[in-house]
Amino acid sequence: MAMLLDTHPTRSLLEPQYCKWALEHPVTLNQLSVRERPKLRGAITDTHSEILALTRTFALCAPEAWPGQCRLDLFLACTVFHLQSKYPEPEPGTPPDTSDVASYHVWLYENVVKGTIKAHFDGICDEAHAESNTVYGTTDASIPAKKKYQAFAGFALFQGDEQVNLAHYVSGKVLAPEAELSAICFAVIRATQVPGCTHIVMFMDHIALEKKALDPSVHSSQGHSLAVCRALLLWFAANPLNILKFYDCLSKAEWDVYQEVHQFLLDLSPVLGLWPRMC
């Protein structure tokens, strides 16, 4: 509700105190009788029943987002995003019949692209492993098929031969993007706390969420983003030569480091939410 405009149509379905400037709908909750209300089920009634219990707040003027004081203005060059490169062309060989486009692309990925991706990230990981001042790791989230269960988020961090952290936690009954953002938040904050760390390398499978994690403006997961921005501002201020790198790593490539966290979350037993429903 905090993210809706004052004239958003959804507000017209709620009671007058939540409508703001939206015109009241003919079938709004306010128009239902005492007998009709318990029979109504859906997102609107859920929102209305829980709106007073919501604890999430949004910072419209957070200091981390002020012009001239935000991470982008102060330490723009300290954060680097490496997007996924284009698929390489196969070497001369015996590919399948190229007239079947679908089969050709499946063959191309399984025999060329997947191996190339793994080799590429192995090289980056080896470089990070060799530097004692570098912390590298990956994050992932697991969303259950049934809505009555909570999502899991987790991360793994390494420094040289040492595993700094391998953690998982229940992220609540949330959508995949928020679970992923919470994992990114905890991983980056934990990495900035490692003594002597001046270089952080993170491998993730969603570049848009990586950028959103560093966006202090108002959005549905602003709390995670603000926590990341605060930690990074302190970390960059301590040493302007510190650098954070994000790499876009396809989950379907099944790269070993990423797959370790992915499988770790899949093996966990599902956890019911506070108000589970049979779905």
Whether residues 49 and 127 share a domain: the answer is: no
Choose among 263, 221, 227, 215: nearest CA to 71: 215
Whether residues 39 and 139 share a domain: the answer is: no
Question: Which residue(s) pair with 170 in the sheet?
Answer: 152
What pTM was estimated for this model as a whole? 0.72
Helix, strand, coil tally for the chain in percent (to 5): 45, 15, 40
> Alpha-carbon distance 230 to 244, whole Å?
14
For the stretch 81-85, contacts whose Cβ atoms lie closer than 8 Å and that sit 24 or more positions apart, written own/partner, are: 81/207, 81/210, 81/211, 81/245, 81/246, 81/248, 82/245, 82/246, 82/247, 82/248, 83/207, 83/248, 84/207, 84/248, 84/250, 85/120
Based on the structure, what is the number of domains in the chain? 2
Q: 278 in a domain, yes or no?
A: no
> Alpha-carbon distance 77 to 80, whole Å?
7
Whether residues 20 and 126 share a domain: the answer is: no
Res. 278 pLDDT band, cuts 50 70 90: very low
Whether residues 185 and 74 share a domain: the answer is: yes
Whether residues 76 and 21 share a domain: the answer is: no
pLDDT in tens, 185-211: 999 999 999 999 999 999 988 888 888
> Alpha-carbon distance 211 to 226, whole Å?
13
The token pair that represents 261 in the structure block: 């966290």
Res. 169 pLDDT band, cuts 50 70 90: confident
Whether residues 26 and 78 share a domain: the answer is: no
Looking up residue 186, the CATH number of its domain turns out to be 3.30.420.10
Q: Is the pLDDT of residue 279 over 50?
A: no
Q: 215 in a domain, yes or no?
A: yes
Mean residue pLDDT of the chain comes to 79
pLDDT in tens, 108-163: 666 666 777 788 888 999 999 999 999 999 999 888 888 788 888 999 999 998 99
Q: 105 in a domain, yes or no?
A: no
pLDDT of residue 176: 84
- Helices 256-266 and 114-130: crossing angle in degrees, nearest 10, is 100
Whether residues 73 and 42 share a domain: the answer is: no
Residue located via tokens 């590919």:
95
pLDDT in tens, 101-114: 666 666 666 666 67
Please, what's the b/e burial string for 76-114 (b: 16 or more CB within 10 A of its CB; e: otherwise)?
eebbeeeeeeeeeeeeeeeeeeeeeeeeeeebbbeebbb
Structural domain containing residue 47 = 9-53
pLDDT of residue 138: 93
